[in-house]
């Protein structure tokens, strides 16, 4: 049996293969990259200013093993430091406003009390005294009038003297009525009017105090937010792990992000990954022509390029949708396939390249020939058979295939 497409007349040394049965492994061979299925994403919590990001001042080297709480990165906090300084001044002004408003409330309350217990009582007592004096004057005038009337009856007083006494009585009555009227106005109107004004002053000052307190609270919250943002400029490790940069390449040159001093990071942008070393996996991209062969649970042998030993794994996920292609790439689709590494050693690291051999099918006894011995045309497969000195072209039906051998279902025998 010779290689397909070879020229028997020009080839002086054709290659032959003895058809035989034996164990057959249908393998899909691909390259992949080691990653962790569980990553602590370390993100930028600092808000951008004016639509731009925050510059990185310093960053820990990639690959460093860190403990929880260690510093990973320092972002530029100079603008936030200035904001905090300005905000402290605003908070101090707001605190002064609250103090003034509290004093105004106390002053309004005291003014009301001062009126009720001081000014009002003083005015009322004065009017009450006037009433007492007016009542006494009225009684005195009435007694004087009665005496004058008795004397007039005896003819000892003139009518003009009687009229004078009568005028004194009327004047005393008028003074008493005036005092009583002023007391009534004070008790029923003036007091009520003044209390309404005092109560309004108290409510106004209390409302201003409440407003100033709210303003102070808002300004303090702003200061706390700025301080929290400043604190967030020092990025700490949330857990133990090995530092992996969350570099991104768009493939077009305009959207690349490289973790380094001077790079700008946006709010909620991932800067680092701290992978869980006990949950390592390989992400391999399978060509669309072979993705239909891959199923979850298939066994896998993994060889890490940085080591000489093989690791065991199994397929745990096959993406249903193709990976985004590069703008310069072909139209061939690739599908991400994830292979769990069984008992991953401590020596493997995220980002390492790995060769994966996915065992699609394992047959204990199968008739198989080299893939180079098969010639395909119009979806039919043929091989050359040598019988003695004669050559015969024979059509076969093939089964599973790998990179080296193809199984034969019909057409030839061992």
pLDDT in tens, 308-329: 778 999 999 999 999 886 555 5
Instruction: Among 246, 274, 302, identify where a domain stops.
Output: 274
Contacts with 159 (C-beta within 8 Å, 6 or more apart), sequence order: 152
pLDDT tier at 191, thresholds 50, 70, 90: very high
Same domain? For 141 and 258 the reply is: no
Same domain? For 333 and 412 the reply is: yes
Does 192 score more than 90 pLDDT?
yes
Which pLDDT score is estimated for 326?
59
Same domain? For 165 and 240 the reply is: no
Integer Cα distance of 320 and 340 in angstroms: 18
pLDDT tier at 199, thresholds 50, 70, 90: very high
Length of the chain: 414
Does 208 score more than 70 pLDDT?
yes
pLDDT in tens, 133-169: 999 999 998 888 888 878 777 777 777 777 888 898 8
**Residue of higher predicted confidence among 98 and 375:** 98
Which pLDDT score is estimated for 252?
57
Please state the separation of Cα 241 from the chain's center in Å. Answer: 23
Same domain? For 182 and 95 the reply is: yes
Does 207 score more than 60 pLDDT?
yes
pLDDT in tens, 99-146: 999 999 999 999 999 999 999 999 999 999 999 999 999 999 888 888
Same domain? For 355 and 379 the reply is: yes
Joined tokens for residue 88: 């402290």
Please report which helix (H) or strand (E) contains residue 376, including its range: strand 375-377
Which pLDDT score is estimated for 328?
53
Q: What is the mean pLDDT of residues 243-256?
A: 75
Please report which helix (H) or strand (E) contains residue 72, including its range: strand 71-75
pLDDT tier at 254, thresholds 50, 70, 90: low
pLDDT in tens, 3-17: 444 444 444 566 777
pLDDT tier at 249, thresholds 50, 70, 90: confident
Same domain? For 282 and 401 the reply is: yes
Residue 175: how many other CB atoms lie within 10 Å = 17
Number of domains in the chain: 3
- Angle in degrees, CA 90, 93, 95, rounded to 5: 110
Same domain? For 115 and 26 the reply is: no
Does 301 score more than 60 pLDDT?
yes
Same domain? For 218 and 93 the reply is: yes
- Residue found by looking up tokens 């309350």 in the block: 109
Domain range enclosing 145: 80-231
Integer Cα distance of 238 and 232 in angstroms: 13
List phi, psi (to 5°) of 384.
-100, 130
Average pLDDT, the chain: 88
Give this prediction's pTM: 0.64
Same domain? For 125 and 245 the reply is: no
Does 181 score more than 60 pLDDT?
yes
Inter-residue contact 294 to 358 (CB < 8 Å): yes
**Residue of higher predicted confidence among 221 and 346:** 221
Which pLDDT score is estimated for 319?
94
Does 255 score more than 70 pLDDT?
no
Same domain? For 107 and 69 the reply is: no
Does 412 score more than 50 pLDDT?
yes
Domain of residue 60, CATH code: 2.40.50.100
pLDDT in tens, 213-225: 999 999 999 999 9
DSSP 3-state of 3: coil
CA distances 286 to 26, 61, 294, 338, Å, are: 15, 32, 9, 10
Q: What is the mean pLDDT of residues 271-284?
A: 91
Inter-residue contact 315 to 339 (CB < 8 Å): yes
Residue 196 half-sphere exposure toward CB, CA atoms < 13 A: 6
Does 188 score more than 60 pLDDT?
yes
Residue 314: how many other CB atoms lie within 10 Å = 15
Same domain? For 190 and 112 the reply is: yes
- Residue found by looking up tokens 């709480």 in the block: 69
Please report which helix (H) or strand (E) contains residue 354, including its range: strand 353-370
């Amino acid at each position: 049996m010779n290689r397909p497409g070879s020229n028997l007349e020009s080839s002086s040394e054709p290659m032959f293969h003895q058809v035989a049965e034996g164990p057959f492994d249908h393998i899909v061979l691909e390259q992949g990259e080691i990653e962790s299925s569980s990553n602590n994403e370390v993100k930028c919590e600092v808000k951008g200013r004016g639509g731009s990001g925050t510059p990185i001042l310093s960053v820990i080297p990639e690959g460093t093993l860190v403990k929880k709480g260690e510093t990973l990165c320092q972002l530029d906090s100079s603008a936030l430091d200035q904001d905090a300084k300005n905000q402290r001044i605003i908070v101090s002004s707001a605190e002064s406003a609250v103090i003034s408003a509290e004093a105004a409330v106390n002053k309004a309350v005291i003014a009301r009390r001062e009126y009720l217990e001081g000014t009002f009582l003083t005015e009322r007592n004065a009017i009450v005294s006037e009433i007492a004096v007016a009542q006494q004057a009225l009684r005195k005038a009435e007694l004087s009038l009665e005496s004058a009337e008795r004397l007039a009856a005896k003819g000892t007083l003139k009518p003009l003297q009687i009229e004078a006494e009568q005028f004194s009585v009327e004047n005393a009555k008028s003074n008493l009525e005036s005092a009583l009227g002023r007391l009534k106005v004070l008790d029923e109107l003036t007091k009520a009017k003044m209390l309404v004004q005092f109560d309004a002053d108290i409510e106004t000052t209390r409302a201003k105090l409440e407003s100033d307190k709210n303003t102070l609270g808002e300004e303090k919250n702003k200061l706390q937010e700025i301080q929290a943002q400043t604190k967030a400029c020092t990025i700490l490790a949330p857990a133990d792990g090995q530092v992996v940069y969350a570099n991104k390449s768009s493939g077009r040159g305009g959207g690349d992000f490289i973790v380094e001093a001077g790079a700008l990071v946006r709010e909620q942008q991932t800067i680092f990954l701290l992978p869980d070393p006990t949950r390592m996996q390989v992400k391999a991209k399978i060509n669309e022509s072979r993705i239909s062969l891959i199923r979850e649970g298939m066994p896998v042998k993994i060889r890490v390029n940085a080591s000489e030993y093989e690791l065991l794994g199994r397929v745990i996920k096959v993406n249903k949708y193709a990976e985004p292609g590069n703008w310069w790439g072909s139209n061939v689709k690739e599908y991400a396939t994830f292979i769990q590494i069984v008992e991953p050693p401590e020596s493997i690291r995220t980002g390492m390249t790995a060769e994966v051999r996915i065992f699609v099918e394992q047959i204990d006894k199968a008739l198989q020939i080299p893939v180079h011995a098969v010639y395909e045309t119009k979806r039919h497969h043929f091989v050359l058979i040598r019988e003695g000195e004669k050559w015969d072209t024979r059509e076969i039906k093939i089964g599973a295939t790998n990179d080296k051998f193809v199984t034969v279902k019909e057409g030839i025998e061992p």
